[in-house]
């Protein structure tokens, strides 16, 4: 088992070459920069590499980190030098109601199952103050993708309308951005998440090359999505199974 110093060094090296993870943090940072969070209480939720959590702390505010597994908890505590919380077995968050001004939910925890994802969004809503801000990452769901030509299927994800429908029960949606275009997503599929620095040099070379090749695809939306919204009173405006496809208004009007 790594010592804490070895673990921290390995995680920092992995994050350095993980351009998709860095783009996620850059996108989140741009969204939060306009909110003035310097004195806010903030929660980052579910980042696999805690160096991402460390980067968010540079925005100011008072941050708390929460992860899904015991291994991630140990890693985050080593990098951040502070106590880290763990999500409960039923995906309940170990915090009191209206405790935070900002919650950032990392990409990879929305499953594409509307009922399950809505329950997680409602937990985030519960622990946010009014008006608080939720920033949430997801795969960007497409009807057709060039990546499908290379085999495999996209798991889960939401498009802009579906993300709006998912969040609108408890949030005024302020914006949606996409990132990680074709070549970078292809490299991510080839290498997977950079949990270690094994093969880090070649991963870094491929990610950098893919990042610059994606300039040619500037007119396309990315394969990852980040949305942010302002908390409002929770109102069940739609049924979970109506998030994908028809809105609840269509269901009520036309059956």
CATH of 4-254, one of 3.30.70.1290, 1.20.1440.60, 3.30.420.40, 3.40.50.150: 3.40.50.150
The region of weakest confidence among 128-137, 138-147, 212-221, 240-249 is: 240-249
Contact indicator for 206, 137 with CB cutoff of 8 Å: no
pLDDT at 144 over 80: no
- The DSSP letter of residue 106 is -
* CA quadruple 49, 212, 184, 179: dihedral sign: positive
- 162-167: list long-range contacts, CB under 8 Å, 24+ apart: 162/243, 162/244, 163/136, 163/138, 163/225, 163/227, 164/227, 165/238, 165/242, 165/243, 165/247, 166/110, 166/114, 166/117, 166/118, 166/121, 166/243, 167/121, 167/134, 167/136, 167/227, 167/229
pLDDT band at 254 (very low <50, low <70, confident <90, very high): very low
Would you list the domain boundaries of the chain?
4-254
Tokens at 246, concatenated: 């028809």
The predicted-structure confidence for 42-86, as pLDDT tens digits, reads as follows 999 999 999 999 999 999 999 999 999 999 999 999 999 999 999
pLDDT at 224 over 90: yes
pLDDT at 18 over 80: yes
pLDDT of residue 195: 56
7 Ramachandran zone, left/alpha/beta (phi>0; psi -120 to 50): alpha
The predicted-structure confidence for 176-186, as pLDDT tens digits, reads as follows 999 999 988 98
Contact indicator for 134, 128 with CB cutoff of 8 Å: yes
pLDDT of residue 99: 97
Contact indicator for 102, 151 with CB cutoff of 8 Å: no
pLDDT of residue 247: 45
pLDDT of residue 3: 83
């Amino acid at each position: 088992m790594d010592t804490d110093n070895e673990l921290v060094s390995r995680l920092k090296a992995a994050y350095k070459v993980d351009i998709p993870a860095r783009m996620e943090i850059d996108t989140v940072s741009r969204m939060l920069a306009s909110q003035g969070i310097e004195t806010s209480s903030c929660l980052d939720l579910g980042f696999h590499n805690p160096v991402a959590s460390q980067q968010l702390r540079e925005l100011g505010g008072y941050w708390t980190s929460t992860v899904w597994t015991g291994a991630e908890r140990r890693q985050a505590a080593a990098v951040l030098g502070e106590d880290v919380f763990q999500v409960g077995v039923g995906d309940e968050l170990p915090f009191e109601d209206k405790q935070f001004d900002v919650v950032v939910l990392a990409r990879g925890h929305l499953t594409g199952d509307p009922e399950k994802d809505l329950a997680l969004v409602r937990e985030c809503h519960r622990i946010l103050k009014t008006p608080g801000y939720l920033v949430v990452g997801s795969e960007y769901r497409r009807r057709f993708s060039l990546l499908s030509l290379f085999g495999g299927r996209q798991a889960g994800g939401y498009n802009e309308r579906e993300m709006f429908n998912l969040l609108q029960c408890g949030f005024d949606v302020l914006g949606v951005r996409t990132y990680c275009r074709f070549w970078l997503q292809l490299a991510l599929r080839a290498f997977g998440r950079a949990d270690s620095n094994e093969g880090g040099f070649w991963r870094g070379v491929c990610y950098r090359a893919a990042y610059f090749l994606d300039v040619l695809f500037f007119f396309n939306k990315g394969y990852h999505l980040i949305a942010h919204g302002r908390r409002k009173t929770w109102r069940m405006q739609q049924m979970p199974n109506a998030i994908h496809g028809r809105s609840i208004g269509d269901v009520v009007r036309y059956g």
